[in-house]
Chains A and B, each alone.
Chain A
């Protein structure tokens, strides 16, 4: 490798954001360098050994539809797969997998090592090279200067990271890894808004000291779900179950008695933690009347006894952790392998970012992942992909691309961050998406793969499989539309046999599929509709589209209305100051955030319809003046 050459893109950090960023940039054709502390920790799961879940699974499928890493890696590393919400409608079903940490890291590393255009290098970055307000490269810990047209920073929880266990604390990026202090200090010197957030992780337990016979068992789904569009069941390693344990009143008592010793409760931590992912201390205090809390006991891998007790994140002193773990049924003799801890770190106000994830202050510098105020591997990976792509496109003098809110959860995530900012670590939930019925796991490919292909993110192999599926869905839907049954025809008896209410007027097969009691397989059991398609994915898609059609139409109408505002660009140098009728507060906010489109401005907190009207009138006025001039 020649580090003297100029790269198109440098990615700092080999976590979930960094690995997606580096591979996306490389796929998009940019000559890319990934710099990270330690090659051994590429794709490391800092906290819980799982990928997906509600909202998060949606993100993973979208990353996959754009040719990303995460879904392919988890298909090779997942040791328990489930579809959550399987009893509910398709829009809110989500895939989740338990991961073998080691296998996951290996899978990620293999993908990275085999990625064309991508160079890996183990070295911490201490500083950025700037010319005016353009980034032109990075300086490493050993003083190496490496040049690039654009840089993506994905330093995770490492920036000025501080680890707390009880009353003790020390500097660290996560347990066992060094923090990034020099870089954090340099970044604080730039004109970026910085804040502190915190998150926590539970202690780990040696499975040989746990009595599994008294715990509940939770098996994976059968048939085993698959994450990637290109994935296959046969890639999965051996599948094993998780277990379920419960805290009790004794656990609560121990925690209450020692609250004063918890880092979170003794005031040692200034960072803000996530509301939905509270420490066990928080849960006991805030929901005092709840006598018992559920704890998922998750295996960390196939070849280790280490267990992850999901739900017991804590910053109590280690001795107290031992006590409260041992108070749980089945854990009386438990041995703790590693203590739980809380970590505080720097994050940058995401409102200082453009939709491309480039910082507004420093040209060519992109941010992704935890440093933008999010939490979670999937959230990090999603941003990484977009930042890496856009860093490549900028280096290639191409326009950036970010999905809209109606195209992807990735769009919701980025738009929420840059227009509203965040006060706590931001996690995806389906309730954040107003177009939830459109943004499903099952159609992530249909929503994004064609766009990904145009952006050079999708390879030939995926593209061909995708086209085959897409076309089959269209052909089958058209076929069903043309199969009419009349209540007076001969055929009607066999059709009525599968219906709850008999046919009253002429209907086609697609109409029948909309009925709640009918699924695709049942429909195909009637001779006059058979034979259907054999590809399950195609059949599923035809069925879901039929079932949701009314709501899909409604949401698409909403989108259409919104579209013109999405397309109305606000010039970079547009001045908000002095627009009479816009409150000073709004003028300031708009000036600071600089929304790129009218639609984005409309989503900012405090914007009213009248304010939007004023904005439109002033934009038009400006345009008229420019036309005259």
Chain B
């Protein structure tokens, strides 16, 4: 096998940002030196610890930290490698990552650093299987995580965007491949207008994403359950703040309450909702309606159950009370609360755990369970990164649209616009899945009557 030198430069967050701990962004490949120069304003001496600032594109400081530079082949991957260790949390780390991408790196796929190390003879044969497992296991997880983060508004918007792009390409490509056919081709003005529309929408999605709806807020966890189960208590407990009103009156919570927290650097959006039950009270009814709305949009549901309730031992308890929640087919953690009163809870259920929102017992286990379920593990692909991947793809798509639109206005070159649209679609395909040239031809043939 030839030495794999001429390839892409890759980047990734190499460790999760622990609470107050150190996060590492690692870069490997031919552009590493160039990237170091951009972020550090200097190229560190190889193999020496270099205390430094990380700079944003505008010259402002993103973070203080340590940089380590290794020159090929004397590095972990066998290529030029840069390690940037910062102090900030997930968001700062994400900014550093973004800077490396601006410098020309692309996000590494799961296991790709190890893969390169192996391909460059830096890891011995015995580890081949382990690496293969890493590539496989983590990518599956990534796929699942990506799917999850694709639920809801974000995916709707992106699918809409892709659909419009395909529609436009159908016209642009048909006008190139079938100029002799009787097709009402779009005028250049119309094409321009549609490119602009797609660009605007892309900007909207990106802005929404960057404002934090996606990244900063991370995963949405909704606390649900019957009245008085202790939902609001759990929210206060997780957020370490006294934000929700807690009383012994069933039906206390009416509005949806939102808190932003981090578990070991994993950003979470936690929502407390009204207790679910049949109610005649108009205000409570509205609260329950809103609760359901949030539950249906959740990435993860914490179903809180009062463990002192005797009925939980009935065989049909879950079916009778929560079948509509289970029917949503979403990730759920069942939380038996108030174990300080009930002792332990011995309902044998998969994906369940017991705790006390009052004493805090069992809380660390819940946090672990949440982390595990949303796939946030150091070294592995996770939801957080999957979304960064999406953002990155959107940004690249936008660049292509920008260039394409210039080609059309300044050069009147439809075939160059077509090329940029194709590239933009390739970027979006990374989010929504493959769309081949044959798929496009299929669209053309079903949209226009073509053929001699």
Contacts and interface: CB of A to CB of B under 8 A. Distances in A.
A561 B8 contact: yes
Given A310-B452, A432-B441, A581-B132, 10 more contacts: A88-B414, A88-B415, A429-B437, A551-B419, A563-B6, A579-B132, A608-B139, A610-B135, A617-B118, A628-B125
Contact of B7 (A310, A564, A609): A564
Centre residue among A84, A283, A294, A617 by max chain B CB count within 10 A:
A617
Contacts of A89: 413-416
A628 to B, nearest CB: 8
Contacts of B2: 564, 567-568
B177 A429 contact: yes
B109 A623 contact: no
Secondary structure type dominating chain B contacts = helix
A240 interface: no
A145 B317 CA distance: 83
Contacts of A4: none
A613 B449 contact: no
Interface of B: 1-2, 4, 6-8, 109-112, 115, 118-119, 125, 128-129, 131-133, 135-137, 139, 173, 176-182, 410-416, 418-419, 422, 434, 436-438, 440-442, 445, 449-452
A429 B8 CA distance: 31
Contacts of B415: 88-89, 91-92, 436-437
Interface string A532-556: 0000000000000000000100000
Contacts of B442: 275
Interface in A605-629: 605, 608-610, 613-614, 616-621, 623-625, 628
Centre residue among B8, B115, B410 by max chain A CB count within 10 A:
B115
A84 B179 contact: yes
Interface in A281-330: 283, 286-287, 290, 293-294, 296, 310-311, 313
A277 interface: yes
A613 B109 contact: yes
Contacts of A511: none
B101 to A, nearest CB: 17
Interface of A: 48, 54-55, 84-85, 88-89, 91-92, 274-278, 283, 286-287, 290, 293-294, 296, 310-311, 313, 420, 429-432, 434, 436-437, 516, 551, 560-561, 563-564, 567-568, 579-581, 605, 608-610, 613-614, 616-621, 623-625, 628
A431 B173 contact: yes
A560 B7 CA distance: 9
A431 B451 contact: no
A275 B445 contact: yes
B416 A437 contact: yes
A619 B125 CA distance: 12
Given A54-B179, A85-B179, A431-B173, A614 B132 contact: yes
A172 to B, nearest CB: 23
17 contacts: A54-B178, A55-B177, A84-B179, A85-B176, A275-B441, A283-B449, A310-B452, A434-B422, A436-B419, A580-B132, A581-B132, A581-B137, A613-B112, A613-B135, A617-B135, A618-B128, A624-B128
Contact of B133 (A276, A277, A580, A624): A580
B118 A277 contact: no
Contact of B451 (A276, A434, A568, A623): A276
A561 B6 contact: yes
Nearest to A555: B419
Given A275-B445, A610-B136, A296 B452 contact: yes
Given A88-B414, A568-B1, A283 B176 contact: no
Contact of A431 (B132, B135, B437): B437
Contacts of A92: 176, 415
B449 A617 contact: no
B416 A610 contact: no
Contacts of B418: 436
A561 B4 CA distance: 10
B132 A623 contact: no
B183 to A, nearest CB: 11
Nearest to A218: B180
B138 to A, nearest CB: 8
Contact of B441 (A283, A429, A437, A579): A429
Contact of A561 (B7, B412, B413): B7
B115 A613 contact: yes
